[in-house]
Structures are given as structure tokens and as C-alpha cells.
Structure 1
Amino acid sequence: MGQFFGSIYCWFEDFFGLELANYMWGLASPEQTTNLFIGIGLWMLGISFTMAAIFYYVVNHPQLNHWWGWFIFLLLNAVFNGIMGCQWVLTDYYAGKMYNVDPLTNQQVPLNIYESNCICFGISNMILSVLAFFIISCIIKWWSTNVSAAPFVK
């Protein structure tokens, strides 16, 4: 599962940085040795599924059976996932967990990861959540009573 999410997120590793990608894989710091892509990927899918289910089965209002009604929930999903992705890595950044140990001096050396890399990771998570929301919408929309045509309403 970690390989799956890691390979998808690494489509954007040029955007958020190779150092952060290696940190997320659990390769760059002795403080963090687990694959963080599993957790963030599962949360992204969970939030995307929840937002789609809320649109199609909880709100389910005929006035939202337009592309713009669906787009509102797509944007909400993207914002939630963008903030969550950014905060996921910023938490480790502010906690000082993003370092390596210099073998010669045995001193902690910070990785070349900055707040901008964490923000770019959040944007990457946002983009992937849009894709996930679209795919989930195409799968679950058929059983909705009022908005099953969204977003492809003519």
C-alpha cells in the first residue's frame, strides 16, 4: 500500500522536492523511518469519499444537480485535503524531525526542506484529491436520487 501511494505522490516530487519525498518514504532521517505516504494517502481517499458521499447522499438536493453544485464540493474537498497535507508535513518540520546525522561529527544536520516544500506537498495532495474525488464521484453517483447526473448535466 505504501508503494502505491508513494509512487502516486512522487509524480509531484519535482514540485515538492526530492528531500521531502525521501523523508516521506522514511529514508532521509533517523527520526522518521516509516512510509508516511500510507497515512496521508488513506486520509486523502477517506476525505474525498466522505465529501462525495455527502454531496450525493446527504445534501442530495435537486438544485445542486449542475456542474457548479458538484464543483463546490470538489473545491471543499481540495481545500480540506490541501490543508491536511500541508499540516501533515509541517508538524514534523516544526517539531525538528527533519534532520540527518553527520557520520563524521555525529551532529544533527537539517535536511534541505523548507516551509515552501511543505506547502507544495499540500498543493500536490490537493491535486490528487481532485482526481480521487472525480473517480469516486463517477463510481458512487448512480444511486443518488436527485443529483446522479452531476457533474455531467447537459
Structure 2
Amino acid sequence: MKTTDYLQLDSKTTEKVAHELQTLLADLQVYYANLRGFHWNVKGQEFFNLHAKYEEMYDDAADKVDQVAERILMLGGVPEHNYSEYLKKSAIKETGVVSDGKEIANLLLSYLKELIGQERKILETASEGNDEGTANLMSDMILEQEKMVWMLTAYLS
């Protein structure tokens, strides 16, 4: 007995969506690790605000990681859990120590661009397969991340 036996979704589309979710999972895990580094290493006059903001962001990223991994399981896949695999698949690359708030904001914008692009791809594939669960998950993530893009661009202005 499998979850997918009850979801009434096309198996080929479900496999494709689960595969694309694996890439998103890898992206989110590297994004999360980078956020932790930014939280630990940020310096300067805005330290207190940025330190707290990066913690909020990595907590949110951890929640998204869990949601994506659970969705992969619901669709019959097995979520990757090795960083070596994440690093192979992720469009987001590890960073070294970065402590400047503006440099971090620019990096975050590039990461969010990658995440939103991958989420839009998944949204399209899921929508084509009438996979409302995955489509809604991606829509919610995109909406939150678009707001973060707006906030980061305002910060850099």
C-alpha cells in the first residue's frame, strides 16, 4: 500500500514532480547552510537586526526543507539527505565566510532567484498533472519569497 494509490495523480507526472522537488530540496539545504553562516558571521552597525533576521530566515528555510521532503515522500519518492548529493544538484553554491550585510543581501537575492525559478518550474509541472497539493505548496513558497525579494531590494536601495 502506497500513498500515491490514493492521491489520484498521474504516475509519470508524479515522478517528474518528485524529481524536481529533489532539486529544490538540495537548493533549500544549501541555502539554509549559507544562512546559518551569515547569521554567525555578520558584522557591522546593523549586526543586531541582521543577526536576528538571518535566524528568522534559516528557521523558515528549515520549515520549507521539511515540507518539501515530506511532499517527496507523499509522491512516492525518497528525499535525499546527504550534503554530497545536495552539492551536486543545487544551483545554489556554498559560500565562505561573508560578514558584510550588503554583500549578504546580494547573495540572498541571487539565491531567491534560483529558488523561485525552481519553484515556478515545479508549479507548472504540478499544475499540468492536477497536483494541487504540490502546486499550492509552491505558490505559498513563491509568495513568501517574492516578499523577501522586495524587502532585500528595499534594503539595498
Q: By the TM > 0.5 criterion, same fold?
A: no
Tell me the TM-score normalised to structure 2 length: 0.34
Q: Which structure has greater helix proportion?
A: 2
Tell me the TM-score normalised to structure 1 length: 0.35
Structure of higher CA gyration radius? 1
